[in-house]
Structures are given as C-alpha cells and as structure tokens.
C-alpha cells in the first residue's frame, strides 16, 4: 500500500514554516528571513519513502490583509487549505495565542482534512511552559495531533513526519524520486535574490521589492548558468538604497544570492542585476499579476 498527498504548512508570519520546510526536505529551497512577507508564493517540497511520497506546501503567513499584495498572499494560503490532504498549523512556543492564530483557526473551520498542530521553537522555552499552551490550543480546535518541535534544532520532526505520513490517503507516486521541488530554477533564483534583499536592506525597502528573472541560460559544457534579473522597487529613494554607495549594496546582494544559487544548482553562476522603479506596484493588481503574485 503506497500513500501520497499534499501537506500544507500554515501559520502566521515568522513562525518558522520555511525553516521547517527546508529541514524536512533536506535542502534549502524556501528562503528564510526574520521578516514578514518572506514567503509570497506557495512552494512545494517532496519527501520520499519506500512506501509514501509527502509533498509539503510552504505558504505565505496567514494574517488579516490590508493591501492588495497582502490580500494576494493570504489568498494563496487559503487556496492551499482547500488543495491539501493534510494540514499542519504551526505556532511559536515562546509566544501566546494571538489574533493571527485565531484568524487561521477560523479559516480552518469546517475543513475535512486532518489538521495537526506543530508548536515550533521549543528550544527557546522551558518544558513547563508548553503544557498550558497545548491545553489552550486543544480547546480552540480538534487537532489530529499536537507536536512540540524545533525546526532549527531538528527536534521532534521524525515523530511528526511519521504521523503526517500515516494520515495521508492511499495513492500513487506523484513525482519522480529525484525531484525535491516542482519549482523552477528560474523561480528559485529570483527567491534567492529576494532573500538577500530581505536580509540586507531595512525599513520599507524589502516589502517594496520584487524580482523578475529576465534571462536564465545554462551552458552545460562550462557547468555555468548565466542569469540576468531585475529588482523592482516603488520609489527612486528605494532604488538609491538598493544600489548603495558606488553600487556596494547591489554587489553584496548579488554576491550572496549567487553563492546560494551555486550551492543548490551545483554549477557556477554569473549573475547580472538591475534595479528599476515601478511606482506603487504593490497596490496594482496588474503589476502583482505581472510579477506572478496573483493569477
């Protein structure tokens, strides 16, 4: 009997969904930063067993949206709830139940798929702190199971994965064994650039930035990938920050992104970056569609 299916990872921003996703898959596919909007699109990661295939879906953080961009992100997460065979809600061990958690629990009302709860970042708290939190969440929703974990320390993941696997329906293998994600290399390259923008720039600049890949050419004989990409921002002042004094910031973003790409792709990468102003793009549905953030 072979099992297969989709497992949606849900939670408010910055609870560690992408860290968990990468730890489970065993490779860095989803970008990680300690800022909201790190994950903007749904990303899949595939975990294979001899008797099962688990397809994890990393989703944007669930929150009450106020802008077109945020609404698009929340809509992507909501659609994933309906597409998944198993749902995994993630919360933080070192924080109390907040409005975003309640917003997500409300969105889960009436779902037919089993819902598990992962209480992440247990490495930050003493064990006695967990019991009241488990009790509070168990009263809010009928979870199929509650698991304290630390995605960063790889603690508790094996037991959680075993239960998620058991909850999947019987079904065929959906992807070949040698595929870790169905995301394209072009998409991942753009995400690695955006990750460095999140890590290296401040204030509103990361949230006003989008990345498009203009060219992606593989030269197999040289084991080389040539990538040309554009960073889009909303204001001239943001463009100046992104480029930096004598191009220093743009060079740093490019260097760090290139190293991440080379590590994942197993090839040398030549990366060329440009910065362009697309005024108020975060409030334009046409631009959000052009950047692939809404359908």
Number of structural domains in the chain? 2
158 pLDDT more than 80: yes
The better pLDDT of the pair 212, 28 is held by 212
Domain boundary among 167, 193, 210: 167
Would you place residue 15 in the very low, low, confident or very high pLDDT band (cuts 50, 70, 90)? very high
Do 259 and 144 sit in the same domain of this protein?
A: no
CB 90: neighbour CB atoms within 10 A? 25
Q: How confident is the model at residue 265, as a pLDDT?
A: 94
b/e burial code for range 108-122 (CB count within 10 A of at least 16 → b): beeeebbbbbbbbbb
Tokens of 240: 């100046």
Q: Could you tell me which residues come within 8 angstroms of residue 162 by beta carbon, excluding any fewer than 6 positions away?
A: none
Report pLDDT for 294.
Answer: 79
Q: How far is CA 146 from the centre of its chain?
A: 22
The answer to whether 144 and 97 have CB atoms below 8 angstroms apart is: no
Q: Which domain holds residue 268?
A: 185-290
Residue 120 lies in a domain: yes
pLDDT of residue 42: 85
User: Per the domain annotation, does 212 fall within a domain?
Assistant: yes
The pTM of the full predicted model, rounded to 2 decimals, is 0.89
* Terminal Cα-to-Cα distance of the chain (whole angstroms): 36
Could you give the CA distance from residue 100 to residue 83 in angstroms, rounded to a whole number? 21
For residues 148 and 195, membership in a common domain is answered with: no
Mean pLDDT of 59-71: 79
- At 223 the pLDDT is 96
Q: What is the mean pLDDT of the chain?
A: 93
Distance (Å, whole) CA 248 – CA 119: 40
Taking the C-alpha atoms of residue 234 and residue 210, their distance in angstroms, rounded to an integer, is 9
Is the torsion defined by CA of 178, 183, 187, 191 positive or negative? negative
Q: Which residue carries 């019991």 as its tokens? A: 131
105-120, pLDDT tens digit by residue? 998 998 999 999 999 9
Claim to verify: residue 235 and residue 286 sit in the same structural domain: yes
The whole-number pLDDT of residue 146 equals 97
């Amino acid at each position: 009997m072979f099992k297969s299916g989709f497992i949606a990872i849900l939670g408010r921003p910055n609870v560690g969904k992408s860290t968990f996703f990468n730890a489970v898959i065993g490779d860095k596919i989803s970008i990680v930063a300690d800022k909201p909007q790190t994950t903007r699109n749904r990303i899949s990661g595939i975990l294979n067993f001899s008797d099962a295939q688990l397809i994890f879906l990393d989703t944007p953080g669930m929150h009450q949206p106020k802008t077109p961009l945020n609404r698009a992100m929340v809509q992507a997460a909501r659609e994933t709830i309906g597409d998944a065979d198993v749902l995994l809600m993630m919360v933080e061990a070192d924080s109390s139940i907040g409005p975003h958690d309640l917003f997500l629990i409300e969105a889960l009302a009436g779902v037919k798929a089993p819902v598990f709860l992962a209480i992440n970042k247990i490495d930050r708290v003493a064990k006695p702190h967990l019991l009241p939190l488990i009790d509070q969440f168990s009263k809010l929703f009928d979870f199929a199971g509650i698991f304290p974990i630390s995605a960063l320390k790889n603690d508790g993941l094996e037991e959680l994965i075993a239960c998620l696997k058991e909850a999947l329906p019987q079904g065929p293998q959906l992807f070949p064994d040698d595929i870790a994600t169905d995301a394209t290399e072009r998409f991942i390259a753009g995400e690695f650039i955006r990750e460095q923008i999140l890590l290296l720039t401040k204030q509103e600049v990361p949230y006003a930035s989008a990345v498009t890949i203009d060219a992606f050419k593989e030269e197999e004989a040289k084991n080389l990938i040539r990538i040309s990409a554009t960073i889009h921002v909303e204001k001239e002042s943001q463009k100046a920050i992104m480029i930096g004094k004598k191009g220093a910031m743009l060079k740093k973003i490019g260097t760090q992104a290139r190293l991440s790409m080379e590590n994942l792709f197993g090839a040398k990468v030549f990366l060329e970056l440009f910065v362009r102003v697309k005024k108020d793009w975060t409030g334009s549905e046409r631009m959000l569609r052009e950047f692939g953030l809404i359908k």
